[in-house]
Amino acid sequence: LAALLQRCQLLLCNCGGTKHFAAAVGTSTLSMYGASDPRAWTPPDDPRHVYLVADVDCINCGLKECESMDCMKRLTPDRVIEAAQKMLEG
């Protein structure tokens, strides 16, 4: 996995082991967060590692299950694509 991630320019992902492998081998990451705190899992002040969160009151709630999933539904594909394009062009 590490060898494959080294060949990537950018990894789009949630917070998990793959994101951390990518960061360890120097691959940029764009991560989508909902229930967990992105500040705890993203290198601070590093433009190679960007995270997206929705503007909802329940963000970072820590729940394992949720009926509404508003935090993820509001992270639209357009928003993710725009952020990825900025990172790739930057």
pLDDT score of 13: 95
pLDDT score of 29: 97
At 7-30, the pLDDT tens digits run 999 999 998 899 999 999 999 999
Instruction: Please report, for the chain, how many H helices and E strands are present, in that order.
Output: 5, 3
At 38-66, the pLDDT tens digits run 888 888 889 999 999 998 888 888 888 88
**Cβ neighbours, 10 Å, residue 25:** 15
- CATH number for the domain including 55? 3.40.50.2000
User: What's the domain range around 65?
Assistant: 2-89
User: How many Å apart are CA 84 and CA 56, to the nearest integer?
Assistant: 22
Domain count, the chain: 1
User: How many Å apart are CA 31 and CA 16, to the nearest integer?
Assistant: 9
Any alpha helices (H) in 1-90, and if so which ranges? 2-6, 17-24, 38-41, 70-73, 77-89
SS3 of residue 78 by DSSP: helix
Asked whether the predicted pLDDT for residue 37 surpasses 90, the reply is no
Higher pLDDT, 38 or 80: 80
Task: Enter the DSSP assignment of 50.
Answer: E
